[in-house]
Structure 1
Amino acid sequence: MDKGLGSVTWWGFSPAIDLIDYYEKANCNTIRSDGEKVGHINILLIGSGDIRHVLKSIASLNRRKGCSVHFYILENNMELYARALLLLSLALENPNTCGLQEKVELLIEIYGNSLVRSQTAAYIQQASNSFIEMVTDFDCLEERLPVFDLNSLKYKERDMLEGIFKLWRKPETDIFDIKHCWDLRVRQHLGTRYDTAKGAFDWDYSMKLCDRGAEIIGSRLYQRWRKEGVAFLLRDGNYDSPNKTLASGMIFQVDGERLGRRGYWGDIVVSPYISFGLECAEERFFKRANREYASDAEAITQYNITSLLHELQTGEPYIEPEAAASESTMSTVVEEETEDVEDLKPAEDISSDQQAKYLPCENVKISFLPLNSLPDMTTKSKYQKLFDVVYFSNSMVHHLVPPISDIFADKSMLILETAKFITELSRDQYVDFTNKIDGMAKQVGCETMIDCNPLKDSFAFYKFQRQKTTM
């Protein structure tokens, strides 16, 4: 396990992108956003770690007449599936049961904080009760959240999911002391530099993240997150409950014996700000005063998530209220939504006339594949020539070998995450990584679609064209 990055990718190391938009722009097939030609897209996400690409892609789907998409998600850790189910179901909650502002705050808090408010912890417990029912009864899942498909998972993986949700629903806080776990990880990572941790954090921010285009994060936010794992403080309150969705188990060899240990085994050096906090269509967030940004990644994340959830909920692009557009506050408060998280009703308390607890998503399907099942997929006929878009994270790209091309559809698109924001690598190392994955892509029959600058770009894009065989 890398001391800084850990072994579980709780959040992505690249900004969220609209996969469907890139696919259309690449003209890989006949799908167009003008409504004249429509179709279905199959997207395989390998090791993406979180829901960022799925959320951004489905939020814009209403703009595309007749277009439908099927996401296939493949990870190496079952806790990532549980988190995806929780966060995506939260994003799809009906506004009658969860208002937009509360939804945004809950999602961001669960996504990127080691410690959450008691109200958020209560929401996780309530949602876990519902998911225990759904992962043990697929008829219940089909009735409540038909957008999700767990049929491909093995029985032991379904049992693991149930066990994870049972852990999350426990009210006890001492079963996962994330403050202690976080401090142990920081001590292990810094070693003798622990006594000067503040200087070490500042060095990583100034000399690594800023050098890679992440200066907008802000030193204050980055220092706070590195110290205690709390990335977002969107509302006044006590952030003192452990975020149990960040708990996972690892097996260690101790004196020849295999011992399991629950802890926090994720990133402690890059931060959850990368996914939604670096890029934004609103230029005002990037204005400077005295050579300093007037805003930071926390405000950008809140705006971006609000925009995505608003469009997902209404089908219309988000227009910020005038009061929230004030340059002095940089706030994204949604005035129409005033109810507090404390007033959220548990799923079982919702009356029958409110049983539409989730937004309809007839044109989206999200399937979870067995862990580490990519090699097996190349031998199964149902996956042959299936995927129009294939995405590899930088931690899973070693699986990009020639047999994988069997699952690529003709004229499909391959997206590879670069190592731009992997701060544990030097500049020369992450440039070499980009050159290496470029060679791997070409070995499986892909050609460059968009030129990739390893110092600036978070992704490398390729187009696959199956060679016609001659008799």
Structure 2
Amino acid sequence: MWWGYSPALDLRLEWEQYKHKNYKNLKELNILLVGAADGRHILKTLAQTYRHEKTQRINFYVYEASLDLVARQVMLLTIALEPPEKLGLQEKTRLFLELYGNSLVRPTTANFIARKSAQFVHMVTDLDFQVGRMPLLRLDQLKYRERDHLENVFKFWQEARTKFPISLYWDKRLRKHLVTRYDSRIGVFDWDYHMRLRPFGAEAITSREYKNWRNSGVAFTWLETESTEPNLTLATGAFQVGDRLCHHGYLGDIVTGPFIAYSLDCEDKDMVRLVNGVQSQRTSDVAERNLIRMMHELVYQQPFVPPRLTDETSQGLVIKEATDTENWKAEPAYDLPESGDCDRKTEIDRKRKAISVKEKYSAIPTQSAQVTFLPISALTEFPKKDKFKDFFHVITLAQNMTQFLTEDLTRMACDGGLLVVESKLFLLELRKENLIESAKNLNCTAEACHCIPAREYDPLKDPVAMFTVRKIQDHE
């Protein structure tokens, strides 16, 4: 639910490979993402804009069946577009990965969630402020009740740190899922990894990290960090009852994991090199390298050159004498008490006031792109509007959204448009025969909607299937 099951794609690059001859000088590229869940395609497409010769405006339209996923994408996109003077490259990357795939986060990350949630409340209630703070996003297409729901989600993130014992929820989910196999769960996790995940193209995911995530919900770790606070962005269905904020617990994935989007491959091949059949780098390191590259390209619009070990760093830990320490003074975080004996209620009020101040700066500029979040009724209402007839050049469908692959959907695609459908390859509950049967059903459905394969699709190897939309008149 919280992440996709296919690697991040540069959708403009995919369009360039399969585009119809009538769209060579296209000025705007319209992309519809149905159930992508985590904004990974948006990030990679924006990051690699400079790699394309022609300047082309890209309009992303995002449809999610759950507003919790909209809230998560607002958070992740905001982090990715934080100016470098506000958030350093490595800290931004690790913060992103923590919120993306960890059930527990660092206390500093929990503070960041609370602080940013206050800004998001301002954004959904004041669209003028939202345009100034995050000009990439458009929330005005959401209905009022949907924006009210988003406001409740952000308020929950801001205030409910002690009301979401995710470790307890995770353990309950495990017990319900495994039943009598719970006591031997590590063996179950090992079987799933070696017999299902790794043989189907996930060699870059290490056994230890996968089993650790299955057992605790913590996917990405670093030696110098300690995760102790719940990741409130993984709470499902936050809602308000009177003056209380409630939720439905954790209802996300506990089988596959958040590794697929950023950890299966890397442009730096030394990061995914196998030594004696074992991955030479951790999955966390591969994901971090991929995301650092994206974050760097987003800011500077130029290639990322990975750091090389110097003679000094290759010698291991080097201790140096600190200089100019007399004039250095630590700045207290906004949520630290001003004094040890302050009144508790006064302190809470001070914290809320501190994090409710509107941020005055704007995100990294992305003038050539726009991300519009669509209302939940969009896929039933938009096909009836003339504006959206033959409108989208690229449409992506998540593996759990294939029920929307109908003639209504392809009616919104242009002739020769690209349809990208996420496969069920990394759903570990499915066996080979299930994957083959699922691929047959997908091909039949696509053919009924006037879509032809853009390339050969192997359900046992390919995480996505690609089709080209052909309008009825082409067949007549």
- TM-score when normalising by structure 2: 0.86
Distance 2:158 2:439 in 1: 42
Instruction: Give the distance between the partners of 2:303 and 2:400, measured in 1 at CA.
Output: 33
- Per-residue Cα deviation, 1:159-196 (whole angstroms, up to 9, x for no partner): 000000000011x5321010000000000000000010
Residue of structure 1 equivalent to 2:35: 47
1:84 to 41, 51, 73: 73
Please, which of 234, 244, 247 is the counterpart of residue 232 of structure 2? 244
Q: Distance in 2 between matches of 1:261 and 1:46?
A: 25
Identical aligned pairs, as a percentage? Answer: 35
Provide the C-alpha distance between the structure 2 equivalents of 1:165 and 1:235, rounded to a whole number of angstroms.
Answer: 30
What is the deviation of 1:423? 0.6
On the 8 A contact 1:74/1:372 being kept in 2, the answer is: no
CA distance in 1, matches of 2:333, 2:33: 32
- CA distance, structure 2, for counterparts of residue 246 and residue 204 of structure 1: 24
Query: For residues 55-204 of structure 1, what are the structure 2 equivalents within 5 Å?
Result: 55-64=43-52, 65-170=54-159, 172-204=160-192
Distance 2:418 2:187 in 1: 43
Cα distance, 1:305 vs. partner? 0.3
The answer to whether residue 467 in structure 2 is matched with residue 466 in structure 1 is: no
In structure 1, C-alpha distance between the alignment counterparts of 2:21 and 2:228, rounded to whole Å: 50
Matching residue of 1:26: 18
Taking the aligned partners of 1:143 and 1:324, their CA distance within structure 2 comes to 42
For residues 458 and 470 of structure 1, what CA distance do their matches in structure 2 show? 29
Which letter does structure 2 place at the counterpart of 1:111?
Y
Q: Distance in 2 between matches of 1:327 and 1:447?
A: 53
Q: Which whole-Å CA distance do the structure 2 matches of 1:26 and 1:178 have between them?
A: 44
Alpha-carbon distance in 1 for matches of 2:32, 2:128: 25
Larger Rg: 2
Q: Are residues 1:17 and 2:9 paired? A: yes
Correspondence 1:252-401 to 2 at 5 A: 262-323=248-309, 355-401=360-406
Please say if residues 272 and 286 of structure 2, whose CA atoms lie closer than 8 Å, have aligned partners that are also in contact: no
Aligned to 1:468, the other structure's residue is in SS state helix
How many correspondences in the alignment? 439
Whether the 8 Å CA contact 1:31–1:39 is kept in 2: the answer is: no
Return closer, same or farther for 1:326/1:80 CA change in 2, 3 Å cut-off. farther
Q: Which residue of 2 aligns with 1:332?
A: none
Query: Is the 1:50–1:84 Cα contact (8 Å) retained in structure 2?
Result: yes
The one-letter amino acid paired with 2:49 is: L
Residue aligning to 1:336: none
Alpha-carbon contact 1:74-1:373 (below 8 Å) kept = yes
What's 2:194 paired with?
Answer: 206
Counterpart of 1:195, as a letter, is: D
| Residues 115-143 of structure 1, C-alpha deviations (whole Å, 9 max, x = no match) | 00000011111111111001001111112
- Taking a change above 3 Å as real, the CA distance of residues 305 and 348 of structure 1, as seen in their structure-2 partners, is farther
Deviations 1:414-458 (A, max 9, x none): 111111101111111011111211111111111111111111101
Structure 1 position 351, deviation (Å): 12
Structural RMSD (CA): 2.9
Answer whether contact 1:186 1:268 (CA < 8 A) is retained.
yes
Once the two structures are TM-superposed, the CA of residue 68 in structure 1 deviates from its matched residue by 1.1
Cα shift at 1:63: 2.8
Write the letter of the residue equivalent to 1:456: K
Q: Larger deviation: 207-216 or 219-228? A: 207-216
- Matched to 2:227, the amino acid is Y
Deviation, structure 1 residue 235: 5.0
State the match for 2:350 in structure 1: none
Q: CA separation in 1, counterparts of 2:138 and 2:313? A: 44
User: Aligned partners of 1:325 and 1:70: how far apart in 2?
Assistant: 46
Q: Distance in 1 between matches of 2:333 and 2:112?
A: 8
Q: Aligned residue for 2:321?
A: none
Give the secondary structure class of the aligned counterpart of 1:45: strand
1:373 Cα deviation from its structure 2 partner: 2.9
| Deviation sequence 1:59-92 (CA, Å, 0-9, x none) | 0112333211010010111110000001001100
The 1:30/1:402 distance shift into structure 2, 3 A limit, reads closer
Q: What secondary structure does 1:146 align onto?
A: coil
Structure 2 CA distance for partners of 1:98 and 1:325, relative to 1, 3 Å = farther
1:219 aligned partner: 207
* Cα distance between partner residues in 2 of 1:173 and 1:115: 11
Distance 1:99 1:226, change over 3 A: same
Structure-2 change in CA distance of 1:424 and 1:124 (3 Å): same
**d(CA) in 2 for partners of 1:311, 1:344:** 30
Q: Which residue of 2 aligns with 1:451?
A: 456
The residue type equivalent to 2:84 in the other structure is: P
